[in-house]
A and B are shown apart, each in its own frame.
Chain A
Amino acid sequence: AQKVTQAQTEISVVEKEDVTLDCVYETRDTTYYLFWYKQPPSGELVFLIRRNSFDEQNEISGRYSWNFQKSTSSFNFTITASQVVDSAVYFCALSHTGFSGYSTLTFGKGTMLLVSP
């Protein structure tokens, strides 16, 4: 069965600190995709990144970076020099292709990040 674990329920940092959000997943699929979504206090879900299981290159986008390690089934997300606007709940998600050939997402429980001035 698919499973996504975000062990950190809540993280509090002070502005300009670096912070890493952990994501560990379980799957029997050989091909899968991993995602990170952001949910700010306004409630909408914002797509941040997608990574497929064959691409273990780390990715950097501005202050955001992602570290995908297939050997440890982890897809961690780091925010460098955090800002108050980064305060949100962050979800890691894993795709699964069922017998029907169609795919769905399994979400972790989320990590709430609080960045104080």
Chain B
Amino acid sequence: NAGVTQTPKFRILKIGQSMTLQCTQDMNHNYMYWYRQDPGMGLKLIYYSVGAGITDKGEVPNGYNVSRSTTEDFPLRLELAAPSQTSVYFCASSPFDRVTYEQYFGPGTRLTVT
């Protein structure tokens, strides 16, 4: 029962570097999400996808890009990393096209930009 997996678990980036956070789910869920969690701030939605080839912006999309070429994978791309992107990133998936059911979360990626 892999569920939602994320790699890497930890990463330190230098300012201006780029990287891709990987997210894979094996539950055949249509919906997938990327959140960032800053200390004391809850989770904020970065991007989401309702199916392969369909993505949309969330609350805080600036500085990020996503793609969804398959049902299973939903990578998050950081271009020109900035210290403000230091955060814990969570990927989640959901089986239905409305948020009427729970979202299943991955274990998170802790990213530090220095």
Tell me the A residues contacting B by CB distance below 8 Å. 4, 9, 33, 35, 43-45, 47, 50, 52, 91, 93, 95-97, 100-110
Q: Are A105 and B45 in contact, with the CB atoms below 8 A? A: yes
Q: Are A110 and B42 in contact, with the CB atoms below 8 A? A: yes
Q: Are B43 and A107 in contact, with the CB atoms below 8 A? A: yes
Instruction: Say yes or no: A100-B56 contact (C-beta < 8 A), given A33-B99, A45-B90, A50-B102.
Output: yes
Of chain B, the residue at the smallest CB distance from A103 is: B99
Closest CB in chain A relative to B48 CB, distance in Å: 6
A103: B residues at CB distance < 8 A: 97-100
Closest CB in chain B relative to A57 CB, distance in Å: 17
CB < 8 Å neighbour of B108 from A4, A43, A101: A43
Give bound CA distance, A52 to B99, whole Å.
10
Closest CB in chain A relative to B57 CB, distance in Å: 10
Tell me the B residues contacting A by CB distance below 8 Å. 31, 33, 35, 40-45, 48, 50, 56, 58-59, 88, 90, 92, 97-105, 107-108
CB < 8 Å neighbour of A105 from B40, B88, B103: B103
The list of the 4 closest CB pairs from A to B, nearest first, reads: A103-B99, A95-B99, A45-B105, A47-B102
Instruction: Say yes or no: A91-B42 contact (C-beta < 8 A), given A45-B105, A100-B56.
Output: yes
Give bound CA distance, A102 to B51, whole Å.
11
Give bound CA distance, A44 to B100, whole Å.
21
Q: Are B103 and A47 in contact, with the CB atoms below 8 A? A: yes
Q: Are A50 and B45 in contact, with the CB atoms below 8 A? A: no
Q: Are B50 and A109 in contact, with the CB atoms below 8 A? A: no
Give bound CA distance, A52 to B98, whole Å.
12
CB < 8 Å neighbour of B40 from A9, A44, A97, A104: A9
Q: Are A108 and B42 in contact, with the CB atoms below 8 A? A: yes
